[in-house]
């Protein structure tokens, strides 16, 4: 395991909590699943048509070191995958 994958900061958890709070209404309204890096995987996404995939701080180590190379990653994914003909 690399150091980067082992680093989990309090900021990761706080950011995820904020994101999940903002997405909570959409989860209930549209019956969405969730896959979030800082939470145990409930695997509910396998039962839903769509799910949120969240990495609240992708690149924690560079962020903590004050370097570039980090982002907030949030995606709404379809269980059926990507269909380019729909765009």
- For the chain, list the domains and their CATH numbers: 3-79 (3.30.540.10)
- Tokens 């903002």 locate to 22
More confident residue, 69 or 3: 69
What is this structure's pTM?
Answer: 0.80
The strand order across the sheet containing 33-36 reads 33-36, 50-58, 71-78
Q: What is the pLDDT of residues 22-72, one digit of tens each?
A: 999 999 999 999 999 989 898 988 899 999 999 999 888 888 889 999 999
Instruction: Please list the residues that pair with 75 across neighbouring strands.
Output: 53
7: pLDDT strictly greater than 80: no
Contact in structure between 2 and 42 (CB atoms under 8 Å): no
**What pLDDT score was predicted for residue 10?**
83
Residue 48 to residues 6, 34, 35, 54, Cα–Cα distance (Å): 30, 9, 12, 16
How many Å separate Cα 27 from the centre of its chain?
Answer: 13
């Amino acid at each position: 395991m690399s150091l980067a994958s082992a680093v989990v900061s309090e900021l990761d958890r706080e950011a995820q909590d904020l994101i999940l709070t903002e997405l909570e209404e959409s989860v209930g309204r549209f019956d969405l699943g969730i896959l979030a890096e800082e939470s145990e995987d409930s695997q509910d996404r396998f039962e839903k048509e769509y799910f949120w995939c969240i990495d609240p701080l992708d690149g924690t180590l560079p962020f903590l070191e004050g370097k570039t190379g980090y982002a907030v990653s949030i995606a709404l994914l379809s269980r059926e995958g990507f269909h380019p003909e729909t765009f």
